[in-house]
Amino acid sequence: MATISTGRRALITVALGAAFAGALYVALRGEHQEKQQRLELAEQSGSVALKGLISLDVEGYFKDPRVQQRLAAKHLPVAVSRVGSREMGDKLAAAGKEGAPDFLFPSGVVAANQVVDAARKLNIAAAQVAPFHTPMVIASWEPIARILVANGLARPLSPRVYGVDMARLTQLMLAKKKWKELKDAGAYEVTRSVLVSTTDLRRSNSGAMYLALTSHSLLGDVVTDRPTAQATALKLAELFKRQGYQENYVNGNFDDYVAIGMGKTPLAFIYENQLVSFAMTKKGVSADMVLLYPQPTIVNKVVFVSTNERAKALGELLAHDEELQGIAVEYGFRIADSQRFVNALQPTGLAVEPRLSQVIDPPSFEIMAEMIDVVAKEMAQ
């Protein structure tokens, strides 16, 4: 049997060692390349903007350079298009599962439920989170508030903040009372009917929320069935018809309140964040501008609906990131940290109700759609 010399054995050992080292190098290089590819893919994914449909309420927020920079830093940049809240469900249904946007950000739970229902029909596992919210309020003027107090329709809650008895106010409006017929109406002794001005409920969420609120005021409860919805909406339709022309976007009604004043808009149904944002931007408000809080009122949640995991991460970031939450407050929104909201508002001099104790939910989106259809038909006549 042949034996291997010591020199040859050494050569074989060196050769085997070199082969092993080469194989190890190739393996490690392959692993390194694979890891590098994963990092590059992650970076590419992080630079791809999430496409979303948003309501007008949050358009300014997403245009804010600070928000854009923060989202980019978290590898969650966005490309957004503004769409009416109640159109989003239809937009999602038309896009289909393959063409669905990454997220939709409607104003109000009614519109959000429509979106989630459309997602369910497409077999999309949608997730929801409400990063911020704002109550529905009536923007008014100190002289008007005093008239309401004198007639038992409102009561002071704190300086320049009032609570409004919505049941009594709704009945008064339906009775077609005029301002000059009210007690102590000297500051606004006009022949106009007492009405709260709104946006067009056929296109605007805030107008629809006014319908939801007055329906509760009329019945003393949330509307839950179609016959009641139809009968109630028929009674309330005149509150919209008698207003005359209505803006179809959320800022139109508020702009009239700010620009034209008490003469045209003694009572304006708005989102609280509109006046809060105005106060922060202008560093204050006119001395006679006041907020009336309907009792009860509706809190309007801006609901983030995600259609995939990356968008879900964006929703969680909006809801929990300290910087992004702080910027939302600057746009007038309330956040989970209510004290932070109150503290941010103090320098402006605008008074708000810090904690809301009387809040109701709007009807389901099917019932709301029924009532809106009834009012829309009445307005078209």
Q: CA nearest 223: which of 237, 212, 238, 234?
A: 212
CA-CA-CA-CA dihedral for 255, 170, 149, 142, to nearest 10:
0
The token pair that represents 318 in the structure block? 């909006």
Same domain, 105 and 152: no
Q: Which residues pair with 129 in a beta bridge?
A: 304
The token pair that represents 135 in the structure block? 């109550």
pLDDT (tens digit per residue) in 333-364: 999 999 999 999 999 999 999 999 899 999 99
Residue 4's pLDDT is 56
Measured between alpha carbons, how far is residue 52 from residues 79, 211, 299, 312 in Å?
6, 28, 23, 12
CA-CA-CA-CA dihedral for 101, 128, 329, 321, to nearest 10:
-90
Same domain, 218 and 255: yes
The token pair that represents 50 in the structure block? 């999430």
Residue pair 280/332 in contact (Cβ under 8 Å)? The answer is yes
Same domain, 128 and 138: no
Same domain, 74 and 171: no
Residue 22's pLDDT is 61
Residue 252's pLDDT is 78
Q: What is the pLDDT along the chain (381 residues), one digit of tens a residue?
A: 445 566 666 566 655 565 565 656 655 666 666 555 544 444 444 579 999 999 989 999 999 999 999 999 999 999 999 998 889 999 999 999 999 999 999 999 989 999 999 999 999 999 999 999 999 999 999 999 999 999 999 999 999 999 999 999 999 999 999 999 999 999 999 999 999 999 888 888 889 999 999 999 999 999 999 999 999 999 999 999 999 777 666 677 898 899 888 988 999 999 999 999 999 999 889 989 999 999 999 999 999 999 999 999 999 999 999 999 999 999 999 999 999 999 999 999 999 999 998 999 999 989 999 999 999 999 988
Please tell me whether residue 88 adopts helix, strand or coil conformation. Answer: helix
Most distant CA atoms of the chain, gap in Å = 127
Residue pair 265/253 in contact (Cβ under 8 Å)? The answer is yes
Same domain, 114 and 161: no
Report yes or no on 156 lying in a domain: yes
Same domain, 292 and 305: no
Same domain, 99 and 215: no
Q: Which residues pair with 287 in a beta bridge?
A: none
Contacts of 113 (CB under 8 A, 6+ apart): 364, 365
Measured between alpha carbons, how far is residue 246 from residues 12, 152, 251, 326 in Å?
93, 28, 11, 33
- Mind spelling out the 3-state secondary structure of 307-334? CCHHHHHHHHHHHHCHHHHHHHHHCCCE
- Output the domain CATH number for residue 251: 3.40.190.10
Residue 15's pLDDT is 56
User: How many domains, the chain?
Assistant: 2
Helix or strand (DSSP H, E) at 291: strand 289-295
Report yes or no on 16 lying in a domain: no
15 vs 9: CA distance, rounded Å? 10
**How many residues appear in the chain?**
381
Query: 338-345 vs 272-282: helix axis angle to the nearest 10?
Result: 40
Same domain, 112 and 165: no
200 vs 281: CA distance, rounded Å? 26
Residue 43's pLDDT is 46
Helix or strand (DSSP H, E) at 342: helix 338-345
**DSSP of 214-261, one letter per residue?**
HHHHHHSS---SHHHHHHHHHHHHHHHHTT-S--SSHHHHHHHHHHT-
Report yes or no on 227 lying in a domain: yes
pLDDT (tens digit per residue) in 310-339: 999 999 999 999 999 999 999 999 999 999
Measured between alpha carbons, how far is residue 115 from residues 42, 55, 91, 110, 123 in Å?
29, 13, 9, 9, 12
| Positive/negative CA dihedral, 164, 331, 289, 140 | negative
40 vs 35: CA distance, rounded Å? 9
Residue 203's pLDDT is 80
Same domain, 192 and 329: no
Same domain, 109 and 221: no
Q: CA nearest 292: which of 165, 133, 108?
A: 165
Same domain, 79 and 197: no
Residue 244's pLDDT is 79
Domain of 190 in residue numbering reads as: 134-300+349-380
Report yes or no on 372 lying in a domain: yes
159 prior amide bond cis, ω within 30: no
Same domain, 233 and 376: yes
Report yes or no on 218 lying in a domain: yes
Report yes or no on 61 lying in a domain: yes
124 vs 309: CA distance, rounded Å? 11
